[in-house]
Structure 1
Amino acid sequence: CSHITGALIYTAQTTLSGFSLETHDIQGQGWVNINGKGGFNTPHDHGSFHWSGCYYALVPETAEERSGNIEFLDPRGCVGFNPAEVSLIFAPKFQVAPKAGQMLIFPSYLRHWVYPNQEDADRISIAFNARIVRRVLAASDVVSPISADPVGRP
């Protein structure tokens, strides 16, 4: 759990201008996914949060090309209209073949799904969502209307 918290703090610090643990809280939720043989997750997003992620605790070895892969779908819709010019950055889909011990963090609005696990062993992951919330300021931290006047009138 501390690895997830640390990764979320790092993500917020490196991507959000003005983020500070002194002025913001990270609210979150998490759950465990256990996908046995044939188990998968349908396309979905976590739009009411800022960041989502997954820590892969157990990923069975597989010979199948897509077994248990997570696939992200481009939310821009029309991307990839010219297949001759598509590069990885403009592809309408992006797959990751997870490895045990790996963690992914991505914007919560990004639609994604997980391919069926084709192996007899379970694939176990810890999924999580997080939102950044500005703390309510104490009365002493609030700028009074008088001191906020740019001319300095009383």
Structure 2
Amino acid sequence: QDATSPATLTVEDDLIECDYGDWQNGKLADLAKEPLWTTVTGQPSAAVFPGGESLAAMQTRAVAAVRKHDAQITEEHGKHAVWAAVSHGDIIKAVIADAYGMPFDNFQRVHADPASVTVISYTSAGPHVLCVNTTAGDLSWLAAGTQKDTSQDAPQVGGGAGH
């Protein structure tokens, strides 16, 4: 779509927040006293919420959904198409961790503030994380023709020139 076309909204169930099961709506101060808390914060790849899902399964479904959607958008609109996924903190942090190639057990080190923006460009060479957790507001640098070309097959080396 061009800048004058209305955006298409798609609901992607695989980007819903983690199913915390029995922990859903619990107060963090109370949950932090649970034995599982040390696993959630220290080894999330092993964390399975009672009555819910594992954090690893949450990451797997979210990353698969983002990559599938990106491939569809790229095929339909080209490699410089811009689209947005709106989700919850742990989902966003898990997708960022994957894009960085971080071990999932380090995903709790990533921050995703409410209403912040993270930009990831998926290419044949792998994901390129262009910004994380920004609330700067002006994303005009994402407009077609103004983006840095991250579509090359070689890995990015050195610093960038900025936007």
Higher strand share: 1
TM-score by length of 2: 0.27
Higher helix share: 2
Structure 1 or 2, whichever has the larger Rg, is 1
Asked which structure has the greater RCO (Cα within 8 Å, sep 6+), the reply is 1
